[in-house]
Chains A and B, each alone.
Chain A
């Protein structure tokens, strides 16, 4: 083999290589122009989670790949490519969030949704595990007390159920309300798995009890507020309205802010 310039240059020109097949999909997913998805198990069965470099973009009941991909493309305008499993860090973060650890950070890709919807979902994120709030509470808290129906619609459009816990929002009459992730039965299952006493919640609602007061603190709460649940039977009072509580010298809890529920009720 001679080493004249031509030989050498032609050898070098032949050193171009094809990029690995994974490169383009990885780049597009990193910048948020395409999504990845994988299946994972939850208390309500197998789900699909989709994500990209910006965050989690979808959580939904597992369907076959083709159906999921078509729906995802229609909803987000982005193709979704299946991967073997959810990356460890994301899987661990989701698991911790489902266990009630709200400090774990999960980035969300909520592009294409309205400010109102995002406000609703952000507020839903504040509801602790094992507690519920009425739709009207969300509406009042985000400064749109009359938009109770719109709150329900926005929660129904929540693209990342379980991560944004829209299942913790119920009707003000204490009934459980709708659930986008497979229907109300799933909502019951999740709330019970989170430690909520559903029969007790429904019993109070049916008898018109809206708030629980403590005669030691003179504070009243929403029935599922962690402070209400701590009150022992001996010190526990049941109120049917805010006025009822206030008339007896009780003030509203600063944590669950029952006034927000009452405004819209």
Chain B
């Protein structure tokens, strides 16, 4: 489970050129799993100001990705992610060391960013809040990070497909969207998901499955639509 299947490993992408601050890579395959967070949590409990940058660098990609897949708009997503990490700092500053050591960092951060995404969605005009039209041209910036080794053709295909999946995700009702995003984009385990969404494990499992079913239906509808257009 901890290994991504598509060769698209966020942790191994070299971001140092675009971001001089991001020289720490969270490691292959997964964004800071529970085990890799242990030293970070110990450091946060010991000296928040000295170690908070480590939290930002280790978790910014996943916090941003959750926001991006919940909100769709990259600018909105960056604001929500920034807000979430700033809130995380202030919350940690108010916790004593024991409380920080007991923290489940991954679901905790997911909860913070998700709540901010929900309130952003709620502030949007009603028309923009409901499902997006499937053939709506989406703004740039939705493309996920790619594995460049697979060559330009594969890259283009992957990008087109990923953009399509990202668009489809945005058509899901927020409750299902958040469950699917946390489980399958962010890669939280079901126990972590239960913490992040503050629901029993059974409930979040059902939400994920229902979300995937809706996504599949939407995907198939889009395929049909495409075929009809080609044959028309």
Contact = CB atoms under 8 A, between A and B. Distances in A.
A binds B: yes
Interface of A: 1, 3, 5-6, 8-28, 30-31, 33, 53
B215 interface: yes
Given A8-B212, A11-B162, A15-B166, A24 B78 contact: no
Which 3 A-B residue pairs are closest in the complex by CB-CB distance? A21-B19, A12-B184, A19-B64
A22 B18 CA distance: 9
B75 to A, nearest CB: 9
Interface stretch (B83-91, B121-129, B132-140, B192-200): B83-91
Contacts of B225: none
B212 A17 contact: no
18 contacts: A3-B219, A11-B161, A13-B8, A14-B6, A15-B69, A15-B162, A16-B61, A19-B22, A20-B64, A20-B74, A23-B56, A23-B85, A24-B21, A24-B22, A28-B53, A30-B82, A31-B52, A33-B52
B interface, size bucket: 35 or more
Contact of A33 (B10, B49, B63, B220): B49
Contacts of B111: none
Nearest to B187: A13
Contacts, number: 127
B65 to A, nearest CB: 5
B89 A21 contact: no
Contacts of B43: none
B190 interface: no
A113 to B, nearest CB: 17
A19 B63 contact: yes
Contact of A16 (B31, B85, B161): B31
B185 interface: yes
B89 A24 contact: no
Nearest to B59: A19
Contacts of B15: 18, 21
Given A14-B158, A17-B10, 6 more contacts: A15-B69, A15-B162, A16-B144, A18-B18, A20-B64, A27-B86
A27 B162 CA distance: 28
